[in-house]
Amino acid sequence: MNNKNGRVYIRILDVSDTDDMLNHMLRNRELFEGVSPKRCESVYTKEVQEKGIENGIKQREEDKRYAFGIFLTETDQLIGDISLFEVQRGPHQKCILGYSMDQAHNGKGYMTEAIQLIMKFAFEEIGLQRVEAGVMPRNVGSMRVLEKAGFRQEGLARKLLEINGVREDHVLFAMLAEDYLDRVKE
């Protein structure tokens, strides 16, 4: 997925990305804590970030999770991460999409590009049939990103996740392999 034709590219994270991921987490801590489940303080350490990347490698080998970094093509700077997790095979052939973007790069269309790249991976390389995503209704920017990338809104999951001690509703989105193929043909 190291396609450098666009403004960003994605590639599987490896241990050499540990410092960059830690800095990404530290720079954006306040933003991420407002939209993500509560994290332990240790997540903001090099050891835990490295262990997380190593775990991601193991989960990729087990076909459970695919974790990528999002990099600027021009500078190779890590500006975010994107992953397919809770991969289910058998009759489901689906997963959940998760992502984060450095707040300094929000609103520039980079995440839409990264989602398009990971959808190519999901549908063309690992053969999934459905990718789901959930977003809190107040996170209008993230919902817009999913819509621009071709996801369709499917409903509302009431009190889906606990964020900062509060059970939060999430708007559910999905993209099917056929939706992706229709977009590619356009």
Return the higher-pLDDT residue of 42 and 18.
18
Mean pLDDT of 7-29: 90
Task: Count the Cβ atoms, other than its own, within 10 Å of residue 80.
Answer: 23
How far is residue 154's CA from residue 29's CA, in Å, rounded to a whole number?
30
pTM (2 decimals)? 0.90
Q: What stretches of 45-150 show up as alpha helix (H) in DSSP?
A: 46-61, 110-120, 140-149
User: End-to-end CA distance of the chain, in Å?
Assistant: 21
Element (H, E) at 153: strand 152-163
Q: Hey, what CATH class is 8-185 in?
A: alpha beta
Q: 33-47, 99-113, 137-151: which range is least confident on average?
A: 33-47
